[in-house]
Every structure is written in structure tokens, then in C-alpha cells.
A and B are shown apart, each in its own frame.
Chain A
Amino acid sequence: MKKTPNQKAWFMVLPVLLLVAFSAIIPLMTVVNYSVQDTFGNNEFFWVGLEWFEEILHSERIHDALGRQALFTLIILSIEIPLGIFVALHMPKKNGLWSSLCLVLVALPLLIPWNVVGTIWQIFGRIDIGLLGYTLDKMGFDYNYTQDSFAAWATIIIMDVWHWTSLVVLLSYAGLKSIPDAYYQAAKIDQASRWSIFRYIELPKMKGVLLIAVLLRFMDSFMIYTEPFVVTGGGPGNATTFLSIDLVKMAIGQFDLGPAAAFSLIYFLVILLISWVFYTIMVHSDKEAG
């Protein structure tokens, strides 16, 4: 049967195209539009080319924020991933009331909105009325997250670990549950040590979910805004001003729309790039092994 070429099917993708256009492309283009223009209000714009990008790329303030951001992400990843695996390894493996209870307890922090988490820790850490802050203060520790940048960092890191380690635990737990009993039995027969079991059975089987866990935690922590904003507001000084907080300050606080737009685009590209590099390395090493 001879088929007549018919291009009408393209109309079928039109709704999706419109949806994506309005939800992603047009807003993004608006940002691009701002990033190459300057305005003094009254809806008058001047073309400035790549000036804003140059300014952002050479801005010491942004460099500092990026440094803080990278350090923060590195710290929470290096705590949450091993801790999450550790907790998952010690969760009860058999299905039952006990394991369900553990799962619910572990999942609980994930259900709390960011704002609320921030508020909880903001109050928890206050030295006048907060349980944690008051106790530490009375025990003689010099703990005050509004004045001491180390205390502020510690508070925010512990808060993030408290909030998000659960995600790593749940993912790792799912990975562990998928390992058939026979592997453990074989390991017993081979007299494998606990470490060998972890290294050669559990870790390889968890690799896939851990990749997801690291990616999710990287992206989320690199974009963190609400919690530190509620707890420290970026302070003391600029000690906890991460990229998002700085961006909001620039865009809404100072109303520097052009630089903020350029900043947003660079920020977005950095996350995209790191995620892509990371993902490619992991997938590639998987293929090499196979």
C-alpha cells in the first residue's frame, strides 16, 4: 500500500509545545532578555551585550558566595551519603511492624516544609528560648548562630543533615532490599568479612540508587535557599550567604535585574554542567565495568 505523506500529525504536538513554551521557554527567555539589557525604570531598556555576564564572572562577591556554596554542598554530601548508607545498613531488613515503624520515623523529616524546618531550627537554636541554644549556652559553650559564623554554619549543616539524610537512607534501603538472600548466603559460605560484604555485594548493588541520591542532594543543596534564609538570613555578615540567597538579594533587594538575570543563567548552567559531568562519569564507569 502506498502511503501518502501527511504532516498533519505535527499538530498533535502543538499542545505540548504551547505548554512547554509558557512554562519554561518564555520565562527563561525573559531572563535572557533581562540579562543583556539595562533599565532605569519606566520600562525603558538599553542593550548592554555581555556586560552583565562579565561583571558577574569577575565579581568577588559572587566568587565568595560560590565558594561558600561549594563548601556547603561538599560538607553535607560527605556527611549525608555515608551516614545515610550507614543508617540504611542498620535498618531491619525483614518486613514487619518494626521495619515499617523505622521507615515512617526516617521519612518524617522529608514531609516537613522547608520553611517549617527553618523555623524549627531557628527557634531550637536560639539561646534565649531555644532548647538547643539555651542548653549549650548554659553548659558554657559559646554558641550563638546570630553572631558566630562557625555556629551559624554548624546549625545550618546539622539542620540539612537532619532534614535530608532520610532521603539517602530511603534510597539506600530500597537498594539493599533488592539484594537477594542468596548473595549473603554465598558470602557466608565464602567466609567474607562484613567489610567485604559491604564492598563487593552491597555497594555495587546500591550504586544506581546512590547515583540518584548524590545527584538529588547535590542539586538541592546547591540551590538551598529557604532554610538558611529563615535561620540566619545569610548572616552573620555574609557568612551563610549562599548563591540563592545572594541572587535574591541582588534581584529583589537591590533590584539589579540585569546582573541578577545574568547571575541566574550562569547559576543554572553551573548546576547543569556539574550534574551532567557527574552523571556521565558514573554511567561511563558502569559501562566500562560491564
Chain B
Amino acid sequence: MAKITLHNLAHSYNNDDNYALKSMNHVWEDGAAYALLGPSGCGKTTLLNIISGLLTPSSGEILFNDQNVTTKDTATRNIAQVFQFPVVYDTMTVRQNLAFPLKNRNLDANYIKTRINDIASMIEVEDILDKKAQGLTADIKQKISLGRGLVREDVNAILFDEPLTVIDPHMKWQLRTQLKALHKKLGHTMIYVTHDQTEALTFADKVVVMLEGEVVQIGTPTELFEKPAHTFVGYFIGSPGMNILPASINGDKAHINGHEITLAAGYEKHSGNMEIGIRPEFAQLSNNPSDLPITIKRIENVGHYQIIRAAHDTLDIDIIASESAEVSEDMQYVHFDKNRINIYADDWLVTP
């Protein structure tokens, strides 16, 4: 187990100015579970491959504890990785699969035996230990490839590269829960790459949100929800995402198309493109003419709540209302909870 430090790390695939990963500094704490969240092509897999040693960064350093491993290969870094689709050795039995990394390290046969039994009971494959890996279902294969990582006690970190992509939806939940339990039990540093916010938010202690090769926010699921540091985090996380509305900010007043909205605190003058961000959960339909006028486009009932798709002029605004909320004709306005309004300058959160 190890603390992983990224120091001025950056990477470009062709060694030009087109950086897949822009310069970043970050410390992955020992024993924590992280999720790397972002849309396809945001550089999260690049970052993962740099950590695992499959890729050497074009600049910067990567440290495991205090040891510089930037140019070390995968094997010496002693990490485990679970890939997007299950990687198992088809011609081996489940037992041989689990033993493989230990055998290659020439460990004692008795030790290997007890270790495999431990891991097998942890990932619940005891009854199929002597079956050929070929022909097992994807979720069991994925468990085995996880097991191959866990079987080494001294592994520095376990990396997951969208490991549930090929798993059936009903098994996803189960595997995720199991993974979380294993993390609690074993306390490995885990880094989990995904583009699925549910996976990221349920798995991780801390979520690292990436956009275009840059880390835009690192935070707990609550922080990401309440105080998105970037408009992208706002609308990428949450369903539907945050309403982002262009506004002019003047002290503790915001103006959208001339309509005044009171803010919880006063803001200094910022240059750049100003926007306010408000989660649909904290927007409310109202019939008070002092609120922002809207027209309702449609209402989607998703079971235990309703999503009201509305618009002010050309700006789309989503509102989440409870299932029982009545939507009457005179509800032509939207009220924002002023304590929940975030202010953004050029997409980045600004504080009062």
C-alpha cells in the first residue's frame, strides 16, 4: 500500500503542444478509494496508464510513497489493474489464474495455497476453483481478474479501468458493493476510472472529475453536488444536471435578462463571463411575480419525483418537484433557494 504523488505531471502522446494531460499536482492518499470521473477522451485512462506504468509521462514525476517510479516499469511498481473487459487466462483453472502472479514471483507453495483460499473466499469463487476460466460469465471472470490483483499482499494500489462496462446491470450493483466491502476490509489504495457518475459516487471516498486533460475538481460526493467547482462538474453530476444561467452579478444581486435575483452574499466584481448555477433540486415553481418568469415545456414523471422542463426566454431550466406537487396554470415563475446558488466566472466557481 502506498501514497501516490503526482508532481507536475503532464503528458502528450506526440510530444507536441497537444496535451492529453495538462500539468497536475495531486496526492492520492494511502488506503483511500478514488474515482476518476469524466467524459470519454478527458484523459482519465491516460492518467491511469501513467500511474500503472504502461505509459511514461512526457514531463513531471510520479512517486510511490517517497520513491520516484516515473521511469519504472509496471512490474516493479507492484500495482494491480482490472481492465474494461475481463482479462483471465482462459486455459487455466480459476485456481491457476489466482496463483499465477504468485508463482511468477517464486513464492512458497504452501503460502500460495493458503493465500488462494483466502482470496477465493473473499471474492466468493471457492466452489469453482478447479473449473477452467474459459466459459465462465463475464462478472465471474471480472472477479477473478480482481482476485489476481488482490492475491499479492504487498500490492501498492489497485487500478480499475471502467471494470463494469461489460457486466450485466443486475450484477453491476452486486460487484460494486463487493468491491466497496473489499476496500473497507483490505484498505488498499484504489483508483477507479469511470464515466458513470453513479459508479463513481457510490464507490469512492473522493471523486476526481476530469475535463479535457485537466482535473477540475476533487471532492467528496457531497462537495461535488453542493459546490461544483466548475460548471462542467455541475451539469455532469446530477440528473438532470445543474442549471447554468448567464447573469450579471452586482454585489448580492444577480440579473438575468433584467430580472433580479437575490443572492445569499455579496460578490466582488469579476471580469469574464458570469453565470449562476442552481441545482434543479433547489429550484421551485412559484406564482410570485417577483421570481423569474418561465414557461413550462413539459413534465416528466420519474416515479418518486417529477422533472419540470421549463425555459426562461431561450434559457432551459430544469426543476425537480416532489411527486405530489401540483402544477397549476398560475405557476409561471421559478424561485431559487438563494443559499444554494453558486456563482461562476468563466466557468469556475467564485466565492463571495
Contacts and interface: CB of A to CB of B under 8 A. Distances in A.
Interface stretch (A34-42, A90-98, A113-121, A186-194): A186-194
Interface stretch (A21-29, A64-72, A196-204, A254-262): A196-204
A196 B104 contact: yes
A185 interface: yes
B134 A200 contact: no
Interface stretch (B87-95, B245-253, B268-276): B87-95
A181 B18 CA distance: 24
Contact of B100 (A182, A183, A192, A289): A192
Interface of B: 52, 54, 73-75, 79-81, 83-85, 87, 89-92, 100-101, 104-105, 132, 134-135, 145, 148-149
B100 A189 contact: no
Contact of A185 (B83, B90, B105): B83
Nearest to A180: B85
B91 A191 contact: no
A186 B145 contact: yes
A201 B100 CA distance: 13
Contacts of B132: 289-290
Given A182-B84, A201-B89, A189 B145 contact: no
Contacts of A192: 100, 104
Interface in A172-222: 180, 182-183, 185-186, 188-193, 196, 200-201, 204
Contact of A289 (B73, B83, B91, B101): B91
A186 B91 contact: no
Given A200-B91, A204-B90, A289-B132, A186 B105 contact: no
Given A186-B148, A289-B132, 15 more contacts: A182-B83, A182-B85, A185-B83, A186-B81, A186-B145, A188-B73, A189-B80, A189-B101, A189-B149, A190-B101, A190-B104, A192-B100, A193-B104, A200-B100, A290-B135
A94 B90 CA distance: 25
A228 B132 CA distance: 46
Contacts of A290: 132, 134-135
Nearest 9 Cβ contacts at the A-B interface: A290-B135, A182-B83, A190-B101, A186-B87, A191-B104, A200-B89, A188-B74, A204-B91, A191-B75
Contacts of A180: 85, 87
Contacts of B89: 200-201, 204
Nearest to B79: A189
A189 B150 CA distance: 12
Contacts of A201: 89
Interface in A265-290: 289-290
Given A182-B83, A185-B83, A190 B73 contact: no
A71 B245 CA distance: 82
Contacts of A204: 89-91
A188 B73 CA distance: 9
Contacts of A182: 83-85, 87
B83 A186 contact: yes
A43 to B, nearest CB: 61
A25 to B, nearest CB: 41
Nearest to B86: A182
Q: Which of A185, A189, A196, A204 has the most CB of B within 10 A?
A: A189
A183 B85 CA distance: 10
Contact of A189 (B81, B84, B85, B90): B81
Given A182-B85, A289-B132, A289-B134, A189 B75 contact: yes
Contacts of B75: 188-189, 191
Nearest to A196: B104
Q: Which of B89, B92, B104 has the most CB of A within 10 A?
A: B89
Nearest to B159: A189
Contacts of A186: 81, 83, 87, 145, 148
B166 to A, nearest CB: 12
A190 B85 CA distance: 17
Nearest to A183: B87
